[in-house]
Amino acid sequence: MGKESVFEKQKLARSRNAVYVRLTDQEFTRLTKDASLHNNTLPIQMKEGYFHGLPSKLLFTREDAERIQKELRRIGGNVNQIARHVNSGLREGWDEAFIGFQEAFRSLMNLIGGAYGHRQG
């Protein structure tokens, strides 16, 4: 048993936890394109997509998400009625607050839809 250099030990340690993945031509093209856009290597792009992407554990069931979305749609209808009054001039000084609320409301709806698998892309 001979002496191993530091480089050989590091190389051996890196190679122990490797994963080899087969990709279709389409998947490989997409991965390559995304890696290029983010200035990453292919392995780093794959790691970041997995470890820093959307959570793989669902936060709530599909039924919960549908119930929450139904309630949010009802609230959204009320917000639209209020916005109509504000836009008609009955109330002044609220425009910016309602625009901000509507944007936050849309973001919340998109997050709830994305959390249980209804993502676009």
Tens-digit pLDDT profile for residues 14-58: 667 778 889 999 999 999 998 888 888 999 888 888 888 765 566
CA distances from 10 to 7, 15, 16, 36, 105 (A): 5, 9, 10, 27, 50
Same domain, 32 and 66: no
Same domain, 66 and 110: yes
Question: Within the chain, what is the greatest distance between any pair of CA atoms?
Answer: 87
What pLDDT, on a 0 to 100 scale, did the predictor assign at position 12?
A: 65
Tell me, yes or no, whether 30 lies in a domain. yes
Range of the domain at 41: 6-51
Instruction: Specify the number of domains making up the chain.
Output: 2
Tell me, yes or no, whether 57 lies in a domain. no
Q: Are 32 and 72 in contact (CB under 8 A)?
A: no
Same domain, 75 and 45: no
Q: What is the C-alpha separation between 9 and 59, in angstroms, rounded?
A: 41
Q: Quick one: how far is CA 6 from the chain centroid? A: 40
